[in-house]
Structure 1
Amino acid sequence: MTSPAAAHVAIVGLTFLIAGTVKGVTGMGLPTVAMGVLGTLMLPAQAATLLILPSLITNVWQLFAGPGVIGLAKRFWPMMAGIVAGTIGAASFIAGSGGTWAVTGLGAALTLYAMSGLFAWRFAVKPEYERRLSPAVGIVTGLITGGTGVFVVPAVPYLQALDLKKEDLVQALGLSFTVSTVALAIGLARENAFAIGDVNNSLLAVVPALLGMWIGQHVRERISPATFRRWFFICLLALGLQLLLRHLI
């Protein structure tokens, strides 16, 4: 293996180790961190292909961590349908000629998410509005996923606003992330940006991601989650601003 190739593998491995650690501590953040870091080194479409398997495996793990999968799927299927439609519809942007501007979009999504976390933006959604809002939130999340590879906005703030029980929220996030990952893979494959050969590269990222999750779970027992989340969002904000401003200045 040549030195540049070895350096590339090492950087990808370290990125997913860090991303997995963040997910192990906070319960989310693996794709966000991976896209943020790798987005500084390659086009978002290339980073997204590496993300597919680590994200899918860790999110399926999270999804089936409790007994409420079927009930959550029945409740949130309109949102999931919106995510699939929006992601597949927008995948041509991240995979095609919009790839360069997708970096700016990625930066904007990361910056918005980091600011919402740092400033603890919170809102509540009344039950009677959920049926109407869920499909719209799904479509917007899908459009952002297909355009940037990041699937946290606005899905995460929306699910947090529904006042779900802690276990249900964790599984609902796992459901949203799993559907987003599958839809992104379908969208990229449809645009010829993800093929069977890319699975091998994505598979190599699974081991450091799982190792990172294991490390993160142990770290969570030793530090304040609030402190960790604050520094996580600060670092994410720095990454987002760097990507956002790269093509604007």
Structure 2
Amino acid sequence: MFDFHLSGGLLYPHLQAFDTLALIGIALALVLGGMVKGITGIGVPLVAMPILVHFLPVQQAVLLLSMPIILGNIPQALEGGELLQTVRKISAPLIGTVIGNVAGVSLLIRLEPHDALAMSGATLIVAAGLMLAAPKLKLAPPLVKPVGFALGFGAALMESIASVPGPLLAMYLIATGATGRAFTKQIAIILVVSIVTLVTTFSSGARANGFDLLISAAASVPAIAGMLVIRPLRDRLHPLAFRAVVLVCVLAAAVQMIVKSGVL
């Protein structure tokens, strides 16, 4: 299914052209994302994406962040068994994410670079705003499936454009009463299915190949290193205050992305 030759692909030609400082900058973005996730639990892409777009086009940055998300969520998706039962329960957002990623990637690979940058910045603003405001929904039983499909579709669009599907998915799962381990398992399953769809669509429509996936998998290493480095400090920092500071910084970086795009 995937070609593992070095030639072609989306990531290797860009990374090959970078000097050492640029590669260090990319690695530091991933480490920083891992450190923030280690303290607050928010996703690596939300922090890493605004930094990565200084080095990579949005399309390549989204692809680079795909495997860290998959590898980080597979253990949680499999934890506790009952995989098929859980999949049936969250079938509506799952279907929405599959369709949303196909649509989102198809849109992303057709956008001009400045438009993609602006759209990614706007998506990050929405994501950070949702997490700061922490909106809560309460869904009546007849609305669970249609709202699940709609929010799954929207989350996949956010994933395709800026690698941040979490806020909409979290809103939906909390609204359906998912808590604790059930919440973690359900969101992990949706994220894995979402990213697999995203990578598959990239491979067919944007010339991504198997070597791109290996590079993306390698990007998990600095992200995990960041989480391990920050672990000794985790209990000394107030996670909610730190989370708020980080999200405000993400908002500022996302606004800068839109300004940089020149659409205004």
The two structures have a TM-score, normalised by structure 2, of 0.84
Partners in 1 of 2:120 and 2:17 — Cα distance? 29
Q: Spell out the pairing of 1:157-236 with structure 2 (5 A cutoff).
A: 157-236=171-250
- Paired position in structure 1 for 2:9: none
SS in 2 for 1:221: helix
Contact 2:121 2:255 (8 Å CA) reproduced:
yes
- 1:71 equivalenced with 2:89 (yes/no): no
SS in 1 for 2:96: helix
Contact 1:20 1:213 (8 Å CA) reproduced:
yes
Q: Spell out the pairing of 1:12-51 with structure 2 (5 A cutoff).
A: 12-51=26-65
SS in 2 for 1:34: helix
Contact 2:114 2:263 (8 Å CA) reproduced:
no
Structure 2 letter corresponding to 1:103: L
1:179 Cα offset (Å): 1.8
**Inter-CA distance 98–152: structure 2 relative to 1 (3 Å threshold):** farther
64-73 or 52-61, larger mean C-alpha shift:
64-73
1:237 Cα offset (Å): 0.8
Contact 1:159 1:169 (8 Å CA) reproduced:
yes
1:86 Cα offset (Å): 1.4
1:198 Cα offset (Å): 1.4
Identity among equivalent positions (%) equals: 24
Listed one character per residue, the Cα deviations across residues 98-145 of structure 1 (whole Å, up to 9, x for unaligned) are 443121111111111212222333332233311221112222222333
1:239 Cα offset (Å): 1.5
The total of aligned residue pairs comes to 249
SS in 1 for 2:101: helix
Contact 1:20 1:211 (8 Å CA) reproduced:
yes
Contact 2:22 2:55 (8 Å CA) reproduced:
no
**Inter-CA distance 79–206: structure 2 relative to 1 (3 Å threshold):** same
- Paired position in structure 1 for 2:124: 110
Partners in 1 of 2:161 and 2:30 — Cα distance? 21
Listed one character per residue, the Cα deviations across residues 185-239 of structure 1 (whole Å, up to 9, x for unaligned) are 1111111342122123223312111112223444332222211211121111111
- Paired position in structure 1 for 2:258: 244
Consecutive unaligned residues in structure 2, runs of 5 or more: 1-14
Consecutive unaligned residues in structure 1, runs of 5 or more: none
Structure 1 letter corresponding to 2:104: A
